[in-house]
Amino acid sequence: MAREPKKPEEMVSDAASIETIIKSRHDCVDTCFSRADSQSVCCKFGTQGVCCRICHMGPCKITPRSPLGVCGADADTIVARNFLREVAAGTAAHSDHGRHLVLRFKKVAEGKEPDYKITDEKALYRIAGDYGIETEGREVNDIALELAELFISEFSSQEEDLKTLNLAPEQTRSVWKKHKVEPQGIDRMVVESMHRTHMGVDHDYRNLLDMAFKTSLADGWGGARIASQVSDIMFGTPEPLRSSANLGVLEEKQVNIIVHGHEPALSEMLAAAVHDPEIIKYAERAGAEGVNLAGLCCTANEILMRRGVPVAGNFLQQELAIVTGAVEMMVVDVQCVMPSLPNVAANYHTEVVSTTDIAKTIGATHLEFDEKHAYDSAKKLLKRAVDNFKNRDPEKVQIPKVKKPLVAGFSVEAIKHMLGGTFRPSFRPLNDAIISGRITGVVGIVGCNNIKTRTDSYINALTKELIKRNVLILKTGCAAQASAKAGMLTPETAHEYAGAGLLEVCETVGMPPILHMGSCVDNCRILDAAAHIVAEGGLGEALSQVPAVGVAPEWMSEKAVAIGCYFVASGVDVILGQPFHTSGSENVMKYLSEGAAEKFGGGFYEIADPMEAVEKIMELLNNAREALGINKKAERKLLDMKDRRSLDV
């Protein structure tokens, strides 16, 4: 007997998605929500991580009756190898994104890409300084070129440790040295991971998992970090700004273009070109009131953070955006783009356009992005979208009237300014608030949506409860967009939900209790914030001592596995709302939790229930506070100027 499809409200938690899933059923359009229903139960061997298809004597699977593969590999080896391959893929994704930006940055420095420029010279000086590059009396392009070359060597270095590691506190670095997980060149780490997981190479699960941590560090303190830094230099360091989120940002009377994926280079150009008078006139001639650019997933986060472009939705809303019938064009680049998009689009007038030769989908129009004429390329795309406006079927248009205001743009530099003012930007007030107990600790809530969890529900329940308990929340990726859709990325949220201590700090500083720090490569900004907390003093010497926890409540991608690993290897405990595919090996599970905690000071915890996660997080934060000797009752006095001065170091 056919199963009843799930009710939309059981699968998603926001009104816009519920309305649009109902529309998709009415329009007889398949989406991830209907496909998840027909997938039914996931493969047991895959879930446990005990399926090995690394050589062609297999695939082998581990069961009580066959505890070894044909070659003799046991569950520990197979699970650890599969895990390392996931980390390598996640690291590769972030880092290749970083590489494309670095190569462009180099061309910009050489004056070969006139449509791009160094937007944020201050960021260039700051970052070049971080790497010990001389800036005094030098031309901007000269500094940029040296920095670009240094970044390129971070990918290609063979025996030298990554220079980016020097941005971590010294004690954290010495932990990495002690356990031999300091990565060399990013590319080498990924290649070596693939070598070591080839049939007949590395079989010791502990050695394989150490390599997973090492490779992940080449992501968080390497490729992803570089992507973030180069984006800041070329497109600007984010500063707080207002915008809005959810499908309701689409405009009924305008040409709607959605950018989706991860790389900011093309979307930045589109965001600039959309205001070009030529484009506005072109749209008006086509009978539209204008051109409306909106984003999905991390491309959305990139242009939200820097330009305030509205967010149409997070990961599981990508098909729903098309189902509104109001999108003329969806421009995609790399990562988290569902291959189903052209099929969904075939039911409407939407044109899906792929733009890079490393990411093509059958059914999508492929229009290679011309970097040399980037602005013209962007204008051409916009005009093409306008031309498609006439094909929109008004009968099929249904834009949910659901959107929420938000504030985003909290780079580490912006947080520093907010806390200390322009005159003396500093993390001191935050450290003081943590030491005094007004803020219990800092929690990074990151990652995706996953069809296995009612969309956004874990993320939002956890966030709400933590701010009630005086925890400052740092967010990125689709998790940040979940808060945005719930209307929680606003300063008013402090009054509505925050505990007394956190509220006091938010009011004094004028900041929201949930800080949106960007896309998934910007998870390194969270670690950078923790490094600033350490440098400011009073909260330990290593990242592992800071009362901080990372959570990936609804994660789904290999990138999230890499992110989790570099948080843990940096000494930060990580709570996973979705389990890894490692349950087939108790040894691997133990190594990732207790083993990692012993080595790095942070380990993994799998907790399926958000309220249980809250309890665990509070316990971890309080343990850290206890160890620092600051776990006394919150003192209610705000520091006066004299106190502040006496704390200055």
Binding region for ligand SF4 (CB under 6 A): 52-55, 57-60, 69-71, 73, 78, 199
Report which of 527, 521, 494 is spatially closest to residue 510, judged by C-alpha positions. Answer: 494
Q: What angle do CA 47, 49, 55 make, to 5 degrees?
A: 130
Question: With respect to ligand BF8, which residue has the nearer C-beta, 310 or 547?
Answer: 310
Helix, strand, or coil here: 627? helix
Q: Which does 336 bind (CB under 5 to 8 A by kind): ligand SF4, ligand BF8, none?
A: ligand BF8
Q: Which does 534 bind (CB under 5 to 8 A by kind): ligand BF8, ligand SF4, none?
A: none
Q: Which does 57 bind (CB under 5 to 8 A by kind): ligand SF4, ligand BF8, none?
A: ligand SF4
Q: How far apart are CA 526 and CA 62, in angstroms?
A: 39
Question: With respect to ligand BF8, which residue has the nearer C-beta, 350 or 578?
Answer: 578
Instruction: Answer whether 416's CB lies under 8 Å from 426's CB.
Output: yes
Rounded to a whole number of angstroms, the minimum distance from the CB of residue 561 to ligand SF4 is 20
Rounded to a whole number of angstroms, the minimum distance from the CB of residue 297 to ligand SF4 is 34
Rounded to a whole number of angstroms, the minimum distance from the CB of residue 260 to ligand BF8 is 9
- Alpha-carbon distance values, 142 to 100, 133, 147, 149, 570 (Å): 20, 11, 9, 11, 33
Q: Which does 197 bind (CB under 5 to 8 A by kind): ligand BF8, ligand SF4, none?
A: none
Q: Which does 55 bind (CB under 5 to 8 A by kind): ligand SF4, ligand BF8, none?
A: ligand SF4
Rounded to a whole number of angstroms, the minimum distance from the CB of residue 545 to ligand BF8 is 28
Question: With respect to ligand SF4, which residue has the nearer C-beta, 45 or 348?
Answer: 45
Question: With respect to ligand BF8, which residue has the nearer C-beta, 243 or 301?
Answer: 301
Q: Which does 54 bind (CB under 5 to 8 A by kind): ligand BF8, ligand SF4, none?
A: ligand SF4
Rounded to a whole number of angstroms, the minimum distance from the CB of residue 68 to ligand SF4 is 8
Q: Which does 298 bind (CB under 5 to 8 A by kind): ligand BF8, ligand SF4, none?
A: ligand BF8
Q: How far apart are CA 55 and CA 225, in angstroms?
A: 34
Report which of 229, 290, 239, 291 is spatially closest to residue 264, judged by C-alpha positions. Answer: 229
**Backbone phi and psi for residue 365, each to the nearest 5 degrees, phi listed first:** -80, 130
Helix/strand/coil (H/E/C) assignment for every residue in 162-197: CHHHHHCCHHHHHHHHHCCCCCCCHHHHHHHHHHHC
Instruction: Answer whether 290's CB lies under 8 Å from 255's CB.
Output: yes
Question: With respect to ligand BF8, which residue has the nearer C-beta, 234 or 297?
Answer: 297
Q: Which does 477 bind (CB under 5 to 8 A by kind): ligand SF4, ligand BF8, none?
A: ligand BF8
Q: Which residues bind ligand BF8 (CB under 6 A)?
A: 262, 297-298, 315, 336, 447-448, 477-478, 519-520, 557, 559-560
Residue type, 409: G
Q: How far apart are CA 512 and CA 489, in angstroms?
A: 7
Q: Which does 557 bind (CB under 5 to 8 A by kind): ligand SF4, ligand BF8, none?
A: ligand BF8
User: What does the block give as tokens for 367?
Assistant: 């229009």
Question: With respect to ligand SF4, which residue has the nearer C-beta, 57 or 611?
Answer: 57
Question: With respect to ligand SF4, which residue has the nearer C-beta, 53 or 112?
Answer: 53
Q: How far apart are CA 60 and CA 58, in angstroms?
A: 5
Helix, strand, or coil here: 107? helix
Question: With respect to ligand SF4, which residue has the nearer C-beta, 75 or 249?
Answer: 75
Rounded to a whole number of angstroms, the minimum distance from the CB of residue 226 to ligand BF8 is 16
Rounded to a whole number of angstroms, the minimum distance from the CB of residue 200 to ligand SF4 is 7
Q: Which does 478 bind (CB under 5 to 8 A by kind): ligand SF4, ligand BF8, none?
A: ligand BF8
Q: Compute CA 275 distance to the chain's CA centroid, rounded to the nearest angstrom.
A: 28
Question: With respect to ligand SF4, which residue has the nearer C-beta, 50 or 316?
Answer: 50
* Pairing verdict, β 311-313 and 329-332: unpaired
Rounded to a whole number of angstroms, the minimum distance from the CB of residue 66 to ligand SF4 is 10
Count of CB atoms situated within 10 Å of the CB of 74: 16
466 contact partners, CB below 8 Å, separation of at least 6: 443, 445, 473, 614, 617
Q: Which does 447 bind (CB under 5 to 8 A by kind): ligand BF8, ligand SF4, none?
A: ligand BF8
Q: How far apart are CA 625 and CA 620, in angstroms?
A: 9
Rounded to a whole number of angstroms, the minimum distance from the CB of residue 577 to ligand SF4 is 30
Q: How far apart are CA 108 and CA 111, in angstroms?
A: 5
Rounded to a whole number of angstroms, the minimum distance from the CB of residue 647 to ligand BF8 is 37
Rounded to a whole number of angstroms, the minimum distance from the CB of residue 212 to ligand SF4 is 18
Q: Which does 60 bind (CB under 5 to 8 A by kind): ligand SF4, ligand BF8, none?
A: ligand SF4
DSSP assignments along 457-479, one per residue: HHHHHHHHHHHHTTEEEEE-HHH
Rounded to a whole number of angstroms, the minimum distance from the CB of residue 63 to ligand SF4 is 13
Q: How far apart are CA 250 and CA 231, in angstroms?
A: 26
Q: Which does 488 bind (CB under 5 to 8 A by kind): ligand SF4, ligand BF8, none?
A: none
Question: With respect to ligand BF8, which residue has the nearer C-beta, 179 or 454?
Answer: 454
Q: How far apart are CA 144 and CA 498, in angstroms?
A: 43
Helix, strand, or coil here: 312? strand
Rounded to a whole number of angstroms, the minimum distance from the CB of residue 296 to ligand SF4 is 38
Question: With respect to ligand BF8, which residue has the nearer C-beta, 547 or 553?
Answer: 553
Q: How far apart are CA 343 and CA 499, in angstroms?
A: 47
Residue type, 363: G
Count of CB atoms situated within 10 Å of the CB of 168: 24
Question: With respect to ligand BF8, which residue has the nearer C-beta, 300 or 326?
Answer: 300
Question: With respect to ligand SF4, which residue has the nearer C-beta, 58 or 425?
Answer: 58
